[in-house]
Amino acid sequence: QSVVTQPPSASGTPGQRVTISCSGSNSNIGGNYVHWYQQLSGTAPKLLIFKNTQRPSGVPDRFSGSKSGSSASLAISGLRSEDEADYYCATWDDSLNVGVFGGGTKLTVL
Amino acid sequence: EVQLVESGGGLVQPGGSLRLACAASGFTFSSYWMSWVRQAPGKGLEWVANIKQDGHGAYYLDSLEGRFTISRDNTNNSLYLQMHSLKAEDTAVYYCARAFPASAWPFDYWGQGALVTVSS
């Protein structure tokens, strides 16, 4: 059981905007950066968003991140079939003194 | 181009040992913290261990109870994970991951993973 919580699933149709939430506490999200990873089926995780809102080079601007208090969100606009993947939030936990991942959200493009 | 290539995975009996290796290329290996992260079948990601740039400092998931040892060879740009007293719950894909510059967390590049199956 992770200390940061994500919904297990999300879905949307092509072209839609979907958001995935990540909820934690003051000891993790509330006081630290949040990062997001995309994991396509059978592949390694790929960094999608770092330090709450920043995109590595090569990541489309359809992907955006935000953070407010002890929660964070990943938004995907103009949803495409190739966005179907598992998405994980990640942050540092000051109480555990380790990096922690959310449980992951499986995004289905209908 | 940054590349991380794991090797050494396989089937091992409960109580057995296994050593994973990760060959790094495309960056100055000795300048980065490195980690192992695992993913049990159908489950999420779990950080396992990390090691400082010079190898003098390593940290582990508490629940491992001292069974795993992370090490590195900066001359040969390689990262290792020695695993002993393996249990069924250690079955997972093990990823080698590079941390952000001058930081132990988070990770910007990952290898393709090595599957470790612990079963009789």
- pLDDT tens digits, one per residue of A28-45: 999 999 999 999 999 999
Q: What are phi and psi of A92, to 5 degrees?
A: -95, 140
- pLDDT digit string, tens, across residues A2-37: 899 999 999 999 999 999 999 999 999 999 999 999
Residue B119's pLDDT band (cuts 50, 70, 90): very high
For chain B, the distance separating the N- and C-terminal CA atoms, rounded to the nearest angstrom, is: 40
**CA dihedral of residues A41, A47, A49, A50 (deg, nearest 10):** 150
The residue assigned the tokens 């001058």 is B102
Count of all residues that appear for chain B in the document: 120
Q: What is the pLDDT of residue B68?
A: 97
Q: Are the Cβ atoms of A88 and B44 closer than 8 angstroms? A: yes
Q: In what order do the strands lie in the sheet with B3-7?
A: B3-7, B18-25, B78-83, B68-73
At B77-89, the pLDDT tens digits run 999 999 999 999 9
Mapped onto helix, strand or coil, the DSSP state of residue A80 is coil
Which of A83, A90, A62 is closest to A11 using CA atoms?
A83
A73–chain B nearest CA distance, Å: 17
Rounded-to-integer distance, Cα B21 and Cα A17, Å? 41
In DSSP terms, A89 is beta-bridged to A36
Partner residue opposite A92 with nearest CB, options B95, B105, B108:
B105
Q: Which residues of A touch B95 (CB under 8 A)?
A: 44-45
Residue pLDDT, tens place only, A92-108: 999 998 999 999 999 99
